[in-house]
Chain A
Amino acid sequence: MNRLLNGIGAIRHLALAATVTLLTACAHTVSVDGEFPAPVGDPHPLSVGVYLSEDFQQFTYSENRDDRDEWNINTGRAQKNLFETVLGSMFQETINLAQYPSNLPQGLDLVIVPEVRELQFTMPRETRVNIFEVWIKYDMHAYNQQGDSVAEWVITAYGKTPTAFLKSQEAALAQAINVALRDAGATLYTGFERVPELQAFIANKQRALTMKQTGDNE
Chain B
Amino acid sequence: MEIPFAYGVREILKEDVPVKFLSAVFSVSVLALLSSGCTTVVIDEYRRSTGELALGDSVVILGRRHSSDYETEPDLIDCVGNTLHNPKAGVNVIPEAQFVDALYPWFEPRTAPMHVKSLGKLMDIPDVRDRMAQYGVKYIVWIDGSTETTSSAGSIGCSIGTAGAGCFGFGTWDKESDYEASVWDFRDQELSGKISADAQGTSYMPAIVVPIPLIARVQNNACKGMAAQLQEFLLPPQSASR
The answer to whether B110 touches A37, judged by C-beta atoms less than 8 angstroms apart, is no
* Alpha-carbon distance between A14 and B111 when the two chains are bound, in angstroms: 52
The answer to whether B110 touches A185, judged by C-beta atoms less than 8 angstroms apart, is no
CB distance from B178 to the nearest CB of A (A): 15
Tell whether A187 is near chain B: CB-to-CB under 8 Å: yes
User: How many of chain B's residues touch chain A, expressed as a range?
Assistant: 20 to 34
The answer to whether A40 touches B111, judged by C-beta atoms less than 8 angstroms apart, is no
The answer to whether B69 touches A40, judged by C-beta atoms less than 8 angstroms apart, is no
5 cross-chain CB contacts under 8 A: A40-B102, A40-B103, A182-B105, A183-B108, A186-B105
* Alpha-carbon distance between A108 and B150 when the two chains are bound, in angstroms: 58
Tell whether A36 is near chain B: CB-to-CB under 8 Å: yes
What total of chain A residues lie within 8 Å of the partner, measured CB to CB? 20
- Option from A40, A160, A183 in Cβ contact (under 8 Å) with B125: A40
| A42/B126 contact (C-beta < 8 A), A36-B104, A37-B101, A37-B104 known | yes
The answer to whether A190 touches B102, judged by C-beta atoms less than 8 angstroms apart, is no
The answer to whether A40 touches B73, judged by C-beta atoms less than 8 angstroms apart, is no
Tell whether B21 is near chain A: CB-to-CB under 8 Å: no
- Option from B105, B126, B131 in Cβ contact (under 8 Å) with A190: B105
CB distance from B118 to the nearest CB of A (A): 13
Contact indicator per residue, chain A 106-134, by CB within 8 Å of chain B (1) or not (0): 00000000000000000000000101000
CB distance from A196 to the nearest CB of B (A): 21
Q: Which residues of chain A have C-beta atoms less than 8 A from B73's C-beta?
A: 162
CB distance from B108 to the nearest CB of A (A): 4
